[in-house]
Amino acid sequence: MDRIRFVIDGEVRTVERFDPTRTVLEYLRETEGRCGTKEGCAEGDCGACTVALGELVDGAVRHRAVNACILFLGAIDGKELVTVESLAKPEAPAHPVQQALVECHGSQCGFCTPGFVMSLYAVWREGDAPTRSGIEQALAGNLCRCTGYRPIVAAAERACAASDRSESRRVATAEQLRAIRPTEMLAIEQNGRRFLAPTGLDELAHLVLAHPDAVLLAGGTDVGLWVTKQQRRLPTVIYLGRVAGLADLAVGTDRIEIGAGVTYTDAMPVLAKYHPEIDGLLRRLGSVQIRNAGTIGGNIANGSPIGDSLPALIALGASLVLRRGPVERTLPLEDYFLAYRKTALAPGEFVARIRVPMAAADTRFRTYKIAKRFDQDISAVCAGFAVTIRADRVVDLRLAFGGMAGIPARARACEQALIGQPWTQAAVLAALPLLTQDFAPLSDMRASADYRARVAANLVRKFQIETSGAGPVGVLALAEAQP
């Protein structure tokens, strides 16, 4: 197949011959003339380009907000694309979300407004009247410089209180989506560059082996920026989003198995059920738009020292199933990272699944993210800790950090000093100086080396206090306790 098809405003659109890394935003503004969708940052940060994607899930259409600026056009094959123009036809009354924004004075210069409309549209479409914190989360990926958020939140509350969700249109869209469901490989080629989208796991394994230099594309929340910000020309892109089985998620008695194509949004409820602590961490990863597209597989494969999911997964003892051609191998996640941006992935190999063990009943697990903002910010330091105590002694301890070295890594010396010790403040204080053997952090724009070293030690102390029955501890109390 050398063309894509998607539904827009109730019509099936076919697009042939396009640049393999053309973004949906470029297509909307330059080809469709839909300039309501704005470009602010072109890197997934501001939300001005937000659109909603409709997909068939269990026979019904489900809509999610995504950033069009870092979404490649080939990735919307077989989906419904909803833009701000889809909601506001000149002859029709304004959409309830738009009407509420008008009534609540939720717009001033208006540049951000289409993005807010689309984020709220997804909430309005999918949610039962959301809570205040649900609305705040839904809007964490949308920046407004002039109106202020109070009237926008008020508009969200007003719009979502309205009950009519126009179900009839959804049934018709479901039929269209069924008719254009991708069944064979998509291969778009232009000027010697390719966008390949297989539909089966074996087909994917064969393609990756045949094109070991290809860039694998999952949610594109890292790869998209290589194109929009670094202006890289990617010769061959292999898209994982249509591969049946790669987005499967299975819960067994001893582990959760997460396909590499599972988005954060889909993984979070399951992970949160068995490891509630990780939910708070993942809610701070990017924004709703980023989590709707981005995958844990991409966070791992990207090999960044500051991927937020990595310390938590290492602390939980996660492992990876890697596949090369027909052959699978399993590797502990902590052994996957070799050096800065260098991983154990062999040419022609890809991440197939992530295995997250169930924690033992007597294991205590915590995650911490230190960043300048609560939402939508990259960590200065991120940590995942797990301790198992039996007969008043530490029998297992995993102190995993991101942002402290060129790779996500465990504090081995510190851990070793605490094994066999009682889990007390005194024991932890005695072991903390060993963190200087474990890590020599860098200074960069996010934090100084000294800050990182101090905060890492404080986090271990906080963990000990929180898991030894003393309850949560505030940052202030720790700062006061600094020697």
260 contact, one of ligand FES, ligand FAD, none, CB 5-8 Å limit per kind: ligand FAD
Q: Is 260 helix (H, G, I), strand (E, B) or coil?
A: coil
Strands 215-217 and 236-239: parallel
390 contact, one of ligand FES, ligand FAD, none, CB 5-8 Å limit per kind: none
Residues that bind ligand FES (CB under 6 A): 39-42, 44-49, 67, 69, 107-113, 144-147
Q: What minimum distance in Å lies between the beta carbon of 51 and ligand FES? A: 10
Q: What minimum distance in Å lies between the beta carbon of 61 and ligand FES? A: 24
126 contact, one of ligand FES, ligand FAD, none, CB 5-8 Å limit per kind: none
CB 17 within 8 A of CB 259: no
Residue type for 274, please? Y
Nearer to ligand FAD, 96 or 408 (CB): 408
CB 385 within 8 A of CB 398: yes
Residues that bind ligand FAD (CB under 6 A): 43-45, 215-223, 225, 240, 260, 285-286, 290, 293-295, 297-299, 301-302, 307-308, 350-351, 376, 378
Q: What minimum distance in Å lies between the beta carbon of 3 and ligand FES? A: 26
DSSP state at residue 335: G
Q: Give the integer Cα–Cα distance in Å for 228 and 460.
A: 39
Listed residue (404, 372, 362, 400) closest to 278, CA to CA: 400
Nearer to ligand FAD, 29 or 284 (CB): 284
Q: How many helices (H) and strands (E) does the chain have?
A: 19, 20
Q: Is 258 helix (H, G, I), strand (E, B) or coil?
A: strand
Q: What minimum distance in Å lies between the beta carbon of 118 and ligand FES? A: 11
178 contact, one of ligand FES, ligand FAD, none, CB 5-8 Å limit per kind: none
Nearer to ligand FAD, 70 or 397 (CB): 70
Q: What minimum distance in Å lies between the beta carbon of 117 and ligand FES? A: 11
**Alpha helices of 257-335 — where are they, by DSSP H?**
264-274, 276-282, 288-293, 296-301, 309-315
Residue carrying structure tokens 């500051």: 306
Q: What minimum distance in Å lies between the beta carbon of 4 and ligand FES? A: 21
Nearer to ligand FAD, 292 or 464 (CB): 292
Q: How many CB atoms lie within 10 A of CB 405?
A: 19
